[in-house]
Amino acid sequence: MAHAVEMVGVGKAYRLGVIDRAMLRDDAVRAWARWRGRRRRPTGEDAETQHRQGAVWALRDITFGLDEGEVLGVIGRNGAGKSTALKLLSQVTAPTRGEIRVRGRIASLLEVGTGFHPELTGRENVFLNGAILGMTKAEIRRKFDEIVEFSEVAAYIDTPVKRYSSGMYVRLAFAVAAHLEPEILVVDEVLAVGDAGFQRRCLGKMGEVAAGGRTVLFVSHNMAAVQSLCTRALVLKGGRLDYGPGATNGAVDHYLGQLKDLVGADLADRSDRRGAGQMRLTGFRCLDGAGRDLEVLACGNTTEFVLAYECAEDFRPDGAQARVVIRAASGPTVAVLNSEANGLVVRGASPAGTLSCTLDRLPLTQGAYIVDLILSTDGVTQDWVREVAAITVETGDFYGTGMVTPPTHGGVLFDQEWRLNGVTAPRTCLAKGR
Kindly list the structural domains of the chain, giving each domain's residue range(s) and its CATH number in brackets, ordered by start: 1-105+182-262 (3.40.50.300), 267-399+404-409 (2.70.50.60)
pLDDT tens per residue, range 265-275: 578 888 778 89
Residue 45's pLDDT is: 43
Residue 18's pLDDT is: 52
Q: Calculate helix-pair angle for 196-211, 166-178, nearest 10 degrees.
A: 0
Distances (CA, A) of 208 to 71, 108, 397, 434: 12, 17, 43, 53
Q: Specify whether the CB–CB gap between 235 and 62 falls below 8 A.
A: no
Residue 39's pLDDT is: 44
* C-alpha R_g of the chain: 25
Residues contacting residue 128 through CB under 8 Å, at least 6 positions apart: 115, 116, 117, 120
Per-residue pLDDT of the chain (434 residues; tens, 9 = 90+): 578 889 999 999 887 655 555 556 665 666 666 565 544 444 444 444 444 455 788 899 999 998 888 889 998 877 788 888 888 888 778 888 898 988 887 777 666 656 688 899 999 999 988 887 778 889 899 999 999 988 888 999 999 988 988 778 878 887 887 787 778 888 876 555 555 666 677 777 777 777 777 888 888 877 777 887 888 999 998 889 999 899 998 998 888 777 666 555 578 888 778 899 999 999 999 999 888 888 888 888 999 999 999 998 888 777 888 999 998 876 678 889 998 888 777 776 678 889 999 999 999 988 888 899 999 988 889 999 988 888 888 887 788 777 777 666 677 888 888 888 888 766 555 443 33
pTM equals 0.63
Closest to 321 (Cα-Cα) out of 335, 336, 304, 341: 341
Residue 127's pLDDT is: 92
387: region left, alpha or beta (phi > 0 left; psi from -120 to 50 alpha): left
The C-alpha atoms of residue 131 and residue 147 are separated, in whole angstroms, by 14
The C-alpha atoms of residue 113 and residue 126 are separated, in whole angstroms, by 10
Residues contacting residue 119 through CB under 8 Å, at least 6 positions apart: 160, 162
